[in-house]
Copies of this chain bind each other. A is one copy, B any other.
Amino acid sequence: MKALVTGGAGCIGSDLAATLLARGDQVVVVDNLSSGKIEHIAPLQGAPNFTFLEGDLEDFDFTLAAAAGVDIVYHLAANPDVKFVEGDPTDKDLRQNTICTYNVLEAMRRAAVKQLVFSSTSAVYGVSPVQPIPESAFLPEPISLYGATKLGCESLISAFQNLFGFQCWIFRFANIVGPKVRKKGRTVIGDFIARLQENPRRLTILGDGRQAKSYLLSEECVEAMLYAIDHAGGPLNIYNLGCDDSLQVTRIADLVVDAMGLTGVEYDFTGGEGGWPGDVPRFRLDVDRINRLGWKARHTSEQAVRIAIESVLAHTGVACRP
């Protein structure tokens, strides 16, 4: 089995690449290293079955060359940053998510590669009237450019699947946490640790602190994907990946403070329901579909976050998010 892992130097991608190598697959990682890190794949570089191609999926010819001769594509490359901040370009998600996914699909079509695994996101759901959110309950209205363009990817995958006989697995991830290091704290765990290292007395929390989301460990995310690929054999397989509960942001702050051995930290809140424009303040995922397939998260959101905090502190880095 020859696998192409896009975004394979990212947090989840590199965990996936390592797992595929360990089970004997031949693995080609592509990454433009815009957010992925060469350190993440350094341990894999010696393996005889491993190839790393540095390049950008916006370059169609590069994408086509990378897809040649592979059996399956794990397309995890994406703009990893859900937050849109005033002044950001508004086409980053469109380019890095929707257009790159189109390039991957078209490269697969031309190279006659038929199997695609795609890392989507719970952000496609926007603010759901139904909680927990099942995969198929309603037509979503994403509120972020990230969620919108990921839904655009899913739509293209659905059409290519039907038109060209692909077999696809789409996974809508909860917030994925794990030990991999990032320089800048773009995620709640990394952000809290970095800011408490700067000032161990006060912590600013975005929003009103009552945002509550689902969390899943990166290693369990990889395990769930591979399990679903082995056990779900339909033409288009869509699964929420996460656990069935959620965790409040303020509680995460408490866990970080505890793990760092701090006391008497004062919290400031920036206020408002969401942490930033396009933030979905509260959600839970209905994970009945993946549970019924036979896979279940082994940790609650709180346990996953606690493990991630400890491993990040042990590596003195910050957490990662897809």
Pick from A44-52, A150-158, A199-207, A252-260 the stretch touching chain B.
Answer: A150-158
CA gap between A151 and B238 in the complex, in Å: 17
Copies in the assembly, this chain: 2
A138 in complex: contacting residue of B91, B126, B137, B158, CB < 8 Å: B137
A159 in complex: contacting residue of B102, B144, B158, B163, CB < 8 Å: B144
Residue-wise interface mask of A (68-109) relative to B, using a CB-CB cutoff of 8 A (1 in contact, 0 not): 000000000000000010000011001000110010011001
CA gap between A125 and B294 in the complex, in Å: 29
A141 in complex: contacting residue of B137, B152, B158, B277, CB < 8 Å: B158
Most buried by B among A106, A139, A160: A139
Residue of B nearest to A139 (CB): B136
A94 in complex: contacting residue of B140, B142, B156, B163, CB < 8 Å: B156
CA gap between A186 and B42 in the complex, in Å: 55
Asked whether, in the complex, the Cβ of A158 is within 8 Å of the Cβ of B148, the reply is yes
Given known pairs A91-B102, A102-B91, A106-B90, the reply for A148 and B155 (CB within 8 Å) is: yes
CA gap between A240 and B159 in the complex, in Å: 21
Residue of B nearest to A123 (CB): B159
Q: Which 8 A-B pairs have the closest CB atoms?
A: A152-B152, A148-B159, A148-B155, A143-B162, A151-B155, A141-B158, A145-B159, A136-B138
